[in-house]
Amino acid sequence: MKYSFKNDYSEGYHPAILEALMKHNLDQQLGYGEDVYSKEAKKLVNKKLQRDSQIYFVSGGTQANLIVISALLKPYQCVISAATGHILNNETGAIEATGHKIISVETEDGKLKAEHIIAVLENHQNKPHQVMPKLVYISNSTELGTIYSKSELTELSHFCRNNGLILYMDGARLGHGLSSHISELSLFDIGNLTDVFYLGGTKNGALLGEAIVINNEILFEDFAFSIKQKGGLLAKGRLLGIQFLELMKNDLYFELAKNANVQALKLSDFLKTYNIQFLAETVTNQVFPILDNSLIDALAENFEFYIWKKINDEQSAIRLITSWNTSDQAVEDFIEAMKKYI
């Protein structure tokens, strides 16, 4: 069987979560997130944030993005996103289907900066004939595995607030971003610098689930109605609450992300010793080496991965992604396979 470096959710879930789900399986609890586990998980998240944010559990990242963006925007308002953004390329037009345009911005590293947004605002001054830019969508880590520095996120946050824009962070891999060996940000910082973000569980040890965190009190009102309307309010909300309770206890969430990052760093360091070029300089659990197509074909016999981008007729960039459960042996096997051809 081929080993998969294709995604970070090939495995089911961390054993601690399985144990907790089994332990509480027959407990009778209230539905729709009113169970004791969901309430306790929310308390733990807010304790780490050092604030009193509104928190809602939903099943997946696309659902989180769809609910947040459609709930917070008026019909004539739109979203600004880097061209690599997940909402642009991997969500089947979910945002556009709600009637909201996404304005795409080309960036070198998947990160939005104030100057990118200024250009969009300047190009949307023909009121009321153009859509109104209102929400800035970012991710950390990005689709290219890069992360925001504290100064970058602070500058972006201040710019958005000074210009009446909502700053929303897709946190599908937020654990990996915050656990990076060069990260300057903490969960406390994310809570202070964003209006809304979500903590991704699906890609970091959970069976499924993301935690939407609303930090801006102005956005609190009636948000729960949007979750219900969009089919995101689970009757058996305990399924999500138990998982996040386990992930938040004793910082298991960050421990799992750190393992994924460490394994990816091993791959990256090895490739650099052979002067392999990369599509982006990544510091989380995604690695994008540019390889000869013949080498890619040889590696594909024993490993699964995405061919991310064609570089030229002879070379392509692939994506190698590690998970909370990626072992030393899996990485060593890939390295040994590479050594046969380079």
Give the start-to-end residue ranges of the domains of the chain: 3-9+253-339, 15-250
Q: What band does 284 get if pLDDT is binned at 50, 70 and 90?
A: very high
Q: What band does 336 get if pLDDT is binned at 50, 70 and 90?
A: very high
CB 195 within 8 A of CB 166: yes
Q: What is the mean pLDDT of the chain?
A: 97
Q: What band does 168 get if pLDDT is binned at 50, 70 and 90?
A: very high
Please state, for a pLDDT cut of 90, what percent of the chain lies above it. 98
Give the mean pLDDT of 90-113.
96
Q: What band does 190 get if pLDDT is binned at 50, 70 and 90?
A: very high
Please state, for a pLDDT cut of 70, what percent of the chain lies above it. 100
Q: What band does 111 get if pLDDT is binned at 50, 70 and 90?
A: very high
Give 9-66 pLDDT, tens digit per residue. 999 999 999 999 999 999 999 999 999 999 999 999 999 999 999 999 999 999 999 9
Give the mean pLDDT of 186-201.
98
Instruction: Tell me the CATH class for 15-250.
Output: alpha beta
> What length is written for the chain?
342
Give 293-308 pLDDT, tens digit per residue. 999 999 999 999 999 9
* DSSP for 241-252, written as a single string: HHHHHHHHGGGH
d(CA 56, CA 182): 29
Classify residue 297 as exposed, middle or buried by CB count within 10 Å of its CB (0-12, 13-18, 19+).
Answer: exposed
d(CA 24, CA 44): 19
The hierarchical CATH code for the domain 3-9+253-339 is: 3.90.1150.10
Classify residue 18 as exposed, middle or buried by CB count within 10 Å of its CB (0-12, 13-18, 19+).
Answer: middle
What integer pLDDT is reported at residue 139 of this predicted model? 98
* Residue 182 confidence (pLDDT) above 90: yes
What integer pLDDT is reported at residue 341 of this predicted model? 85
What integer pLDDT is reported at residue 308 of this predicted model? 95
Query: At residue 195, what are phi and psi to the nearest 5 degrees?
Result: -80, -40
CB 285 within 8 A of CB 257: yes
d(CA 31, CA 342): 56
Backbone region of residue 79 per phi and psi (left: phi > 0; alpha: psi in -120 to 50; beta: other values): beta
- Three-class DSSP category at 3: strand
Token pair for 138: 């970012």
Q: What band does 342 get if pLDDT is binned at 50, 70 and 90?
A: confident
